[in-house]
Amino acid sequence: MKLALTTSFTILLVLSTQALAQDHTVLLVDDFDRNETDDSKEQIGNDWRTNSQSRAKGTKQVDLANGAMHITKAAVADHGVSVTHEVAFKDATIELRFKIGAKDDLGINIADMKEKSVHAGHICIARIKPKRVEITDLKTGRMNQEMRKRRQAQSETAADKKLLKTKSKYFDVDLDVDAWHQLKVTVAQDTLTVHVDGKEIGSFQSPGIGHQTKSRLRLAVNREAWVDDVKITRLN
């Protein structure tokens, strides 16, 4: 009997280890330790793309410097900088180092470009500011196509406004500005959790976060930010 139990335990341990290895697949690693061949152009490499051509008249907004990615919104831009990478997952951890100033912010925006119920594929976002972290369900909130149309037409109903208040959660933080911090954003089923420098800042559970097919990472910057050591690990 003892031998049978030991054998069963060993089999379960092996199966659990295999399952863990299968579920925790590293999808993207980038330390940005490279240089552009033409410093006047955006040449991030490693399949990163930006919206500079469409939103900033082609002005360079992303630079590789000192082994990191420096993102700065151009004066001519009509939209925040969006630095994108295609990456497919349902659940994942997104880890990176970042540095922002007192008036800056960095958004970890997750999208599915095939999801037509929302504007521009927006599913959810964690936005980091020096004094506040915001986690928002965009899919069933403000980026829902019907909701967005009413907001743009300034015809939001009282029910719309009430609903939108339930689609974001805010957490107070006190981050040193112009200093490097470690960020981890975890998407697990319908919950998004943010850690900064190893400390849990907060979690938010909302149905849109549980969208089954995420396919694009957007780093969203409204002024300026530094990003380095990006790692995305699929959990499911």
For residue range 93-124, list pLDDT tens digits in order: 999 999 999 999 999 999 999 999 999 999 99
Residue 3 in this model has a pLDDT that exceeds 50: no
Provide the pairing of β-strand 68-72 with 62-65.
antiparallel
Long-range interactions of 198-203: CB distance < 8 A, separation 24+: 201/133, 201/171, 201/173, 202/133, 202/135, 202/169, 202/171, 203/135
In a domain, 7, yes or no: no
Task: List pLDDT tens digits, range 154-205.
Answer: 999 999 999 999 999 999 999 999 999 999 999 999 999 999 999 999 999 9
* Average pLDDT of the residues of the chain: 93
- The CATH number of whichever domain residue 194 belongs to comes to 2.60.120.560
Residue 225: per-residue pLDDT: 98
In a domain, 19, yes or no: no
In a domain, 18, yes or no: no
- Output 13 or 125, whichever has higher pLDDT: 125
Q: How many structural domains compose the chain?
A: 1
Residues 6+ apart with CB under 8 A from 159: none
What number of CA atoms fall less than 13 Å from residue 143's CA on the CB side? 22
The strand pairing partners of 66, in sequence order, are: none
SS3 7: helix
In a domain, 11, yes or no: no
In a domain, 152, yes or no: yes
In a domain, 4, yes or no: no
State how far the Cα of 1 lies from the Cα of 214, in Å rounded to an integer. 47
In a domain, 81, yes or no: yes
State how far the Cα of 75 lies from the Cα of 31, in Å rounded to an integer. 28
Q: Which domain holds residue 139?
A: 26-234
Among 4-8, 87-91, 124-128, 153-157, the range scoring the smallest mean pLDDT is: 4-8
Band the pLDDT of 23: cuts 50, 70, 90.
low
In a domain, 15, yes or no: no
> What kind and span of H or E run contains 127?
strand 122-128
